[in-house]
Amino acid sequence: MLIRRPPKISPLEITPEASYVTRRRWLKQAGIVSAGLTLPMTPTYAGLQPDDDITPERIATTYNNFYEFGTGKDDPAEHAHNLTTDPWTVTVSGEAKKTGQFAFEDIVKGLTPQERIYRFRCVEAWSMVVPWEGIELSKILAQFEPNGNAKYVEFKTLVRPSEMPEQRSVFSTIDWPYVEGLRMDEAYHPLSLMVTGMYGKPLPNQNGAPWRLMVPWKYGFKSVKSIVSIRFMQQAPRNTWNRLAPNEYGFYANVNPSVSHPRWSQASERRLPSSLFNPNRRPTLPFNGYADEVAGLYAGMDLAKFY
């Protein structure tokens, strides 16, 4: 079962501010609204547990990882407003029929965004529950007609040192651009989302505007932000964190409480907001709570080896 509706969360909590206006603009951009007509956006609660409350928007937009803007959790919110996201060009290459350079608007045009409430689990052991808005990744990718040799898909973030301070830093250990990838069957799984908004608004720069991945059963580092390149490949791409520390970060990065990070356990997580007095710790679930939907993708694989 893909869709569950826990009774505890009321729709009012999910869209705290009336986002009618921004939504309408967004839908219009995507070619979904015409002359006075709007479509209601009904959120989908996927894989949520009864005690999963929506994380306050302020936390999800100010406690971030986006190393291009600095290594501190507050650096992205402080610096990412300088990023120019319009115009935005995406290069598509590799094992597909339609390759080349595409304007972001042309790729998303006519595709219906959906609101999906997903759990999000960072490898650093904090977690959130966020109302993401986006388009099923399969629908984005299918437009380019990948061929039979396409076994993996690679995504790259923008390189623009003039707007991304950490890309100018001589102390940075990351070899830019930030790279991530998925196996094609993972990318085509209906839970995989290309996110274009959150909390009923267009995606803030610090969260990866104009679009970023969201693969809810994987650790957060798979959710590459501000994507400018999509490449269909025969071999698995080397992802950024795997290149930096191969014994700590693998390609698959499936949330797995029984496989520890070499420097810390992954058995539990700190649900934000959390504090010294209320750590809000809870056990981590296999595949981040999405096992029913995705465990079959890894049948027969040793998940301690393919971490």
Q: Which stretch binds ligand MTE (CB under 6 A): 8-16, 182-190, 219-227, 229-237?
A: 219-227
Q: Does 266 bind ligand MTE (CB under 6 A)?
A: no
Q: Does 164 bind ligand MTE (CB under 6 A)?
A: no
Whichever of 32 and 137 has its CB closer to ligand MTE, that residue is 137
How many residues make contact with ligand MTE (CB under 6 A)? 15
Q: How many CA atoms lie within 13 A of 290 on its CB side?
A: 27
Q: Does 66 bind ligand MTE (CB under 6 A)?
A: yes
Where does residue 113 rank: exposed (0-12), middle (13-18), buried (19+ CB within 10 A)? buried
Q: Does 107 bind ligand MTE (CB under 6 A)?
A: no
Tokens, residue 249: 């970060």
Q: Does 225 bind ligand MTE (CB under 6 A)?
A: yes
Q: Does 122 bind ligand MTE (CB under 6 A)?
A: yes
Q: Does 68 bind ligand MTE (CB under 6 A)?
A: yes
Q: Which stretch binds ligand MTE (CB under 6 A): 46-54, 133-141, 224-232, 295-303?
A: 224-232
First to last CA, the chain: 25
Q: Does 96 bind ligand MTE (CB under 6 A)?
A: no
How many CB atoms within 10 Å of residue 10? Answer: 8
CB of 212 to ligand MTE, least distance (A): 7
Q: Does 178 bind ligand MTE (CB under 6 A)?
A: yes
CB of 302 to ligand MTE, least distance (A): 25
Q: Which stretch binds ligand MTE (CB under 6 A): 17-25, 181-189, 220-228, 269-277?
A: 220-228
Tokens, residue 13: 């909590």
H-state helical runs in the chain = 11-14, 20-29, 57-60, 75-79, 104-108, 137-142, 184-187, 240-244, 291-294
Q: Does 287 bind ligand MTE (CB under 6 A)?
A: no
Torsion sign, CA atoms 119, 122, 125, 130: negative
Q: Site for ligand MTE (CB under 6 A): which residue of 210, 220, 237, 289?
A: 220
Q: Does 67 bind ligand MTE (CB under 6 A)?
A: yes
Q: Does 205 bind ligand MTE (CB under 6 A)?
A: no
CA distance 86 to 29: 13
Q: Does 65 bind ligand MTE (CB under 6 A)?
A: yes
Whichever of 198 and 233 has its CB closer to ligand MTE, that residue is 198
Q: Does 64 bind ligand MTE (CB under 6 A)?
A: yes
Residue nearest to ligand MTE as judged by C-beta position? 220
- Nearest Cα to 134, choosing from 55, 215, 38, 53? 215
CB of 158 to ligand MTE, least distance (A): 8
Q: Does 242 bind ligand MTE (CB under 6 A)?
A: no
Q: Does 224 bind ligand MTE (CB under 6 A)?
A: yes
Instruction: Give me the DSSP letters along 152-190.
Output: EEEEEE---TTT-GGGT-TT----SSPEEEEEHHHHTST
- Nearest Cα to 208, choosing from 224, 231, 221? 224
Output the CA–CA distances (angstroms, integers) from residue 244 to 64, 167, 239, 247, in the order listed.
20, 16, 9, 9
Q: Which residues bind ligand MTE (CB under 6 A)?
A: 64-68, 122, 157, 178, 207, 220-221, 223-226
